[in-house]
Structure 1
Amino acid sequence: MEFCGCLPNVIDSNNFTGQLCNAKDEHECLSYLYRDSIYYVPQVVNSVYAIASALKEVFTQYPMLKWHHKSRDKTRRLLLSKLQKCQFEGFGNELFSFFNNRNGQPNFTILTFVPNTFKWKVLAQYDETRSPRFYYINENISSYIQETIPESVCSKPCNVGQIKRIDWGRSCCWICINCSSQQIVTSVNLNKNPKNIINNNVTNKNKSNPMASPMCQFCSPGYRPNKNQTKCQLLPIKYMSIYEKVAQSSVGISSTGLILCFIVSIICIKYWQTPIIKASGKETSIILFLGIILSYISGELILALSPSLFICNFAIFSVGFCITLTYSAILARSSRINSIFQDKNSQNSSSMNLSPRFDINLISE
């Protein structure tokens, strides 16, 4: 024991005149003494003790089983039951029992490689039955421990919105390529679908196909990728509802104008045969009132109804149609007044330009 400089407590000290080891020296001495055996000998010893302890309890409780060879199955069942519950003083005079009735108590020796000495050394030892569980920690070599745990992986899994591509520089590894925010990640059979725009219902259904390859694909018009960029979903429809304050204000102003237009129309109809109404042109007045009323009504209908194909087409058509109808009536009336002042001496010309048919033809053109 000269290499230790002291005598471990587990060794007989009758013929030893030196000093006994303290806890730290004893651990280093035993580690050097037993070398690698210190890591597996306790488990072997405890295994033998466990079998012996269980057999002892079985034959003590059922002494006749040892003489009956036909009762081996019963002996095995009893032995297994006793092993799960056995508890004894094992290696190193420590109490031993099975963990979760299956395995030995967790007992680990943590090693670390010291670069300066190029040797593996014990950093810490862990035992589930002790308190504290890390009953030994070597503070002298703790500075060699890295703060971050090295990862033993070739390539990390790709994140959302990325596709895998083989890294030919490293076997069995891949690189991750980002798709754009308007694309989804899907597996498409390139032999059947070479296009770069997919249908709305395309999802990752071809993953099991060996000919399928992960691709970045654009969604069809009217669709956009979901949050995980795995499938296309309909674009949310956002429109001005009649329940919004801005829409209600617009409808209120439009309704006021519509009511005033109806009032003026009723007054004109009441005095339909008066010289003022006749001079302004009955036909152009009707078309002018019709264009203004349709302008107010179309705006309220567009705000009141939810968007659809008909409503969207109606909104595009009504804006141009109502404005054209209104301005054409004003143009026809202005043209008629202009003809009155310019064609005083031309009796034939003035009669043609002042006729209602001429105004209707001008508006229709």
Structure 2
Amino acid sequence: MGRGEGAPFSPPGSETAVKFDNQGDGLGRYNIFSYQRSGDRYGYVPVGEWAETLSLNSDLIHWPRDTVPPSQCSDPCARNEMKKMQAGEYCCWICTACEPHEYLADEFTCAPCSPGQWPTDDLTSCFDLPEDYIMWEDAWAIGPITIACVGFISTGMVFWVFIRHNNTPLVKASGRELCYILLLGVFMSYAMTFLFLAKPSPTICALRRLGLGTSFAVCYSALLTKTNRIARIFSGVKDGGGATRPRFISPFSQVFICLSLISVQLVTVSVWLLVEVPGTRRFTLLSAGRPSS
């Protein structure tokens, strides 16, 4: 009988039909046994058969601890694991854990999150890490803010006294115009506290760079100009100048000298801002748990 030409038949004295597939091969018939303990002996117990279809008597099968074991090549992967398939296999895989900064793009792929991001709890996507900077309500910010507010009040009171007694001989003799410039510098110094506590941005960074040095330059320029004026006046008297009035001690001259000194600082900072444009960057610091940005 050639291949593919076989027809089913029953051997003499048998009720079982012999069949062939389309390749001419006989169809398999198998008896299924379960190796069990019966009393003090172990032996095989027939529990079913295979003849084109499965016929199985599950009640005759005794499982350890009465638990049916799963029929699978590999166990399901954990929540943070991906399936790494074996070559030529479709039902068997190796579970590989994803890195802490990776999420499951699909059941076979762990994909890293972008810088500044972290996987969600279910590992289905990533979320942006919250920005960590000094907040207005932080304890580290309340102290400087309190000191700055006290400084504003004190500077405002001194300024009010000068305005109230603006034309008195005492205020004029103290260098009225330079005192106002000095008070302005002190006010700017206290105002810098709020810029350094504000959320970083290109504008805030530019104001920090410009204001910090300029506030001190205003204070020191006023003090330097005033000290130089007094020194030259007393130096002229000591040298026997008598009625000779030193040059450049008028209020206009003193203000001009002071502003000239301040302009040096402003020009320097302006060039710095042009050469190195201020901006912000995010840094992700990895810690034992979840990173912060």
TM, length-normalised to structure 1: 0.42
Alignment partners' CA distance in 1, 2:216 and 2:80: 54
2:118 paired with 1:219? no
Is there any run of 5+ residues in structure 2 with no aligned partner, and where? Answer: 1-33, 48-58, 265-293
Match of 1:363 among 253, 262, 271: 262
The aligned runs of 1:324-363 (5 Å cut-off) are: 324-336=213-225, 337-338=227-228, 341=231, 344=235, 351=247, 355-363=254-262
CA distance in 1, matches of 2:101, 2:263: 47
Question: What is the CA distance between 1:272 and its match in structure 2?
Answer: 3.2
**TM alignment of 1:199-218, pairs within 5 A:** 214-218=109-113
**CA deviation vs aligned residue, 1:160-190 (integer Å, no higher than 9, x gap):** 3333222338664222333332222215xxx
Which blocks of at least 5 consecutive residues in structure 1 are unaligned?
1-110, 123-135, 137-141, 188-206, 208-212
Does 2:113 align with 1:232? Answer: no
Report SS of the residue matched to 1:359. helix
* Cα deviations by residue, 1:259-316 (Å, 9 ceiling, x for unpaired): 221111111223334565456544543343334334545655887x8x5xxx744543
Q: Which has the larger radius of gyration?
A: 1
CA deviation after TM superposition for structure 1 residue 328, in Å: 0.6
**Larger RCO, structures 1/2 (Cα 8 Å, 6+ apart):** 2
Give 3-state SS (helix, strand or coil) of 1:185's partner.
strand
- From 131, 140, 161, the counterpart of 2:80: 161
Q: Secondary structure at the match of 1:114?
A: strand
Q: Which residue of 2 aligns with 1:117?
A: 42
Deviation, 1:148, is 7.8
Alpha-carbon RMSD: 4.6
Residues 1:148 and 1:364: Cα distance change in structure 2 (over 3 Å): farther
Task: Give 1:195's aligned residue.
Answer: none
Give the secondary structure class of the aligned counterpart of 1:236.
Answer: coil
The match for 2:163 among 256, 269, 289 is: 269
Q: Which structure carries more helix by proportion?
A: 1
Alignment of 1:101-140 (within 5 A): 113-114=36-37, 117-120=42-45
- CA offset digits 1:221-268 (Å, max 9, x no partner): 3x3321122112233356666567776665444333222211111112
Deviation at 1:362, TM superposition (A): 0.8
2:152 to 258, 268, 282: 258
Does the aligned pair in 1 maintain the 2:192–2:212 contact within 8 Å? no
Match for 1:272: what amino acid?
Answer: N
* Alignment check: 8 A CA contact 2:189 2:215 kept: no
1:56-205 to 2 correspondences below 5 Å = 113-114=36-37, 117-120=42-45, 145=64, 150-168=69-87, 172-187=91-106
Corresponding letter in the other structure for 2:212: I
The 2-side partners of 1:291 and 1:341 are apart by: 23
TM-score, L = length of structure 2 = 0.51
| Secondary structure class of the residue paired with 1:331 | helix
Q: Distance in 2 between matches of 1:314 and 1:295?
A: 18
